[in-house]
Homo-oligomer: A and B are copies of this chain.
């Protein structure tokens, strides 16, 4: 009994989507077969019931070389809403194939934020051509948005807002909203502004609906508002929306004047991206988008692997120093990767926790010391457990209790060092103004690898288990 039988997610979507709202592979194939056969009519009939977000998915799931033909077959179904929902890389290749005039037509239907999202990735010349093709009002709005830094609130906001003066009544607001046909259609709050156009309060539409006409908006609005500076980074904007459970927020210029509005649906995908990118950044996979051109992915990933080659060489140098000892007791070579590898895992765990806590503002100066103490305690517990297991195991397998004692001690040391490095490295990088997710793991891996080999081989020599050479 699938839930889609009982309650289709959308009135006509049940044949195209699986239970996770993904387009079914047989549906995608059917559309592409129709396009291949030159039957644009059939393709359009299949795609017609889809939500714009699903049409965008369809393009993403289509092999790159077939996207042009699909776009040609669907023609004007590839509108601004579909493009706004589309993966950046896929959109870029499609946009490149369009004339500036066509892009301008698409941009003109959209709110500023969506239009900017489409235009900002184009190269300068194409961008200018599109802007020239827009009518002056739209052009001015988009040019203003492009004047703000990338990934800032200014790029994210729409300029279409409902702002009313303080002295209006609820009745004035209702009449105004009913009279002006050109207002943005989707808004959830209205902003009350003073004569300098500075926001003085926010009014949820539900409050307006529930208040008699004669009451002044100033009497129902919330005076405590969360304002977004226009140059604020989008990650900060997303955290602020999340922390204060905002639906929309006024964006203000450095003089405190209302210049636009950001709504939560524009922020949700940023929250998702920023939260999800930690796993990618920690692994050194860059953007980590499966639609990214191979050349860019290669450049991001190989740089990381070369950096890790550097740290691996440090570990190798330590091993080489103990080469004589290894020659005399090959069991050391057999066991040493275990110490390094488990240490690396323990460090990665702590680092993932610390990076996450920093990203969500849970780890601040107020609880850094406490968190470090917590992680060292955990590391000691983990280290003790693993040390006992591997110590007994090695002693039995090699019939050498001293070897067991040496690997147990080395394991405990390395896991505690890993715990310390796992929290200290991200915290220090953050204090230095770096993104802890980007660089932490190279340092932590270098520390746990080197310390793993050094502690194990060093203790083996120090304890008199083997001579150094």
Contacts and interface: CB of A to CB of B under 8 A. Distances in A.
Number of this chain's copies in the complex:
2
A316 interface: yes
B264 A271 contact: no
Contact of A280 (B9, B206, B289, B353): B353
A124 interface: no
A400 to B, nearest CB: 14
A301 interface: yes
Contacts of A415: 305
Contacts of A374: 290, 294
Contacts of A123: none
Interface in A257-294: 264-265, 268-269, 271-273, 275-276, 278-280, 282-285, 288-291, 294
A146 interface: no
B177 A210 contact: yes
B187 A206 contact: yes
A178 B247 contact: no
B297 A352 contact: no
Contact of A283 (B174, B209, B349): B349
A10 B226 contact: yes
A356 interface: yes
Interface centre among A25, A185, A224, A285 (most CB of B within 10 A): A285
Interface stretch (A39-47, A129-137, A319-327, A460-468): A319-327
A243 B319 contact: no
Contacts of A283: 282, 345, 348-349, 351-353
A214 B232 CA distance: 44
A37 interface: no
A208 interface: yes
A310 to B, nearest CB: 10
Given A268-B268, A316-B335, A382 B177 contact: no
A154 interface: no
B276 A9 contact: no
B304 A345 contact: yes
Interface stretch (A70-78, A97-105, A357-365): A357-365
A288 to B, nearest CB: 4
Nearest to A199: B7
A224 to B, nearest CB: 6
Contact of A205 (B188, B309, B365): B188
A12 to B, nearest CB: 8
Given A20-B236, A209-B209, A362-B60, A337 B316 contact: yes
Contacts of A29: 366
Contacts of A226: 9-10
B9 A240 contact: yes
Contacts of A125: none
B341 A11 contact: no
A432 interface: no
A370 B210 CA distance: 54
A413 interface: no
Interface string A169-199: 0000010011000010111100000000000
A22 interface: yes
Contacts of A272: 242, 271-272, 275, 360
A57 B363 CA distance: 10
Contacts of A264: 247, 264-265, 268
Given A271-B268, A279-B279, A279-B355, A382 B301 contact: yes
A356 B276 CA distance: 7
B334 A320 contact: yes
Tell me which of A212, A305, A335, A360 has the highest count of chain B C-beta atoms within 10 A of its own C-beta.
Answer: A305
A165 interface: no
B338 A316 contact: yes
A60 to B, nearest CB: 7
A403 interface: no
A-B pairs, top 7 by smallest CB distance, nearest first, are A275-B275, A283-B352, A279-B279, A275-B276, A245-B265, A205-B205, A25-B365
23 contacts: A9-B226, A9-B240, A22-B364, A61-B366, A63-B370, A174-B209, A178-B211, A188-B206, A242-B268, A242-B272, A264-B268, A271-B272, A273-B275, A280-B352, A289-B357, A298-B381, A305-B349, A305-B385, A308-B341, A308-B342, A312-B341, A316-B335, A333-B333
